[in-house]
Amino acid sequence: MNRAALIQSVIGLGPSWEARPGWFEQHPAALNRPPETLVAIDIEPEASLAPPRQDAVTSPQPDVPLVPPPGVDIAPPVLPPLPQVQASPLLEWDALERAVRDCRDCRLCQTRTQTVFGRGNKQARWLLIGEAPGEQEDKQGQPFVGRAGQLLDNMLSATGLDRDRDVYIANVLKCRPPGNRNPSGDEIATCQNYLIQQIRHIQPTLILALGRFAAQTLLQTEKGIGQLRGKLHSYQDIPLIVSYHPAYLLRNQPDKHKAWQDLIFAKKTFGRLSAD
């Protein structure tokens, strides 16, 4: 008899009631109770598994706070797994351009007019990554020169960024998929080494991934833009922000304000990273 039961029997109270094993769990009230509501915590599992890093991305300085634009949820920076790409020897920039120009590694070489390597300042601190050349880009050999490109240029200049001086713009695919269809997984896999080499050369302060193909390729995730935007990610230790693709914005004008929020977030993040 335990101490509480002894005291109870001494003062004349009946035997203390003790639940049989499993009584609570098997009680009808417990069985009918809806499952406990889980509070969603917006941290990707990899983030908690990754070792803490001491770099600027993972250690925002408290005295220079990141101020999220209204309605933008900023979760702690996430550290997605790095793309499983064998580190191939880094080609010189010119050799890389030639390799892209002469590439015949996938079916897209049969339908392209020409490859589209990238444009802008390769010393730029901002790297913008789109999806793939469209019709105009395929004709002119330059990324983002069609309607989506005009919108992108307008958004950049509204942010105070000059498209030739302040940014470099590249795509995940260097060749146009026929009829502007979505890139396929094998085309992305075949082409991604070119993009990775471009990133290694440029070493930008900030990557802006435009659209889900750029975001999913660099972050190796299947999450959609809605889940990825508004957060500071990183690709190979380079801070990365996700936003909508300008072509999507042309079709979905109401989402333009969200893209604008993303640009403000990116600008503030860039300012803080440059001050570090």
* Structure tokens given for 197: 């080499």
Residue number with CB closer to ligand URA (137 or 262): 137
What's the min distance (Å) between Cβ of 260 and ligand URA?
19
| Closest to 172 in 3D by CA, of 225, 210, 144, 131 | 131
CB atoms within 10 A of CB 21: 8
Cα distances (Å, whole numbers) of residue 75 to 52, 69, 72, 176, 195:
16, 13, 10, 35, 27
What's the min distance (Å) between Cβ of 148 and ligand URA?
5
Q: Do 229 and 242 touch, CB atoms closer than 8 A?
A: yes
Residue number with CB closer to ligand URA (214 or 232): 214
Residue number with CB closer to ligand URA (176 or 272): 176
What's the min distance (Å) between Cβ of 197 and ligand URA?
18
What is the contact surface with ligand URA in residues (CB under 6 A)? 130-134, 137, 143-144, 146, 148-149, 171, 247
Alpha-carbon span 184 to 79, nearest angstrom: 25
Output the CA torsion 179→210→76→78 (10° steps): 50
Residue number with CB closer to ligand URA (56 or 170): 170
What's the min distance (Å) between Cβ of 231 and ligand URA?
21
Alpha-carbon span 130 to 211, nearest angstrom: 7
Residue number with CB closer to ligand URA (250 or 264): 250
Residue nearest to ligand URA (CB): 130
What's the min distance (Å) between Cβ of 245 and ligand URA?
6
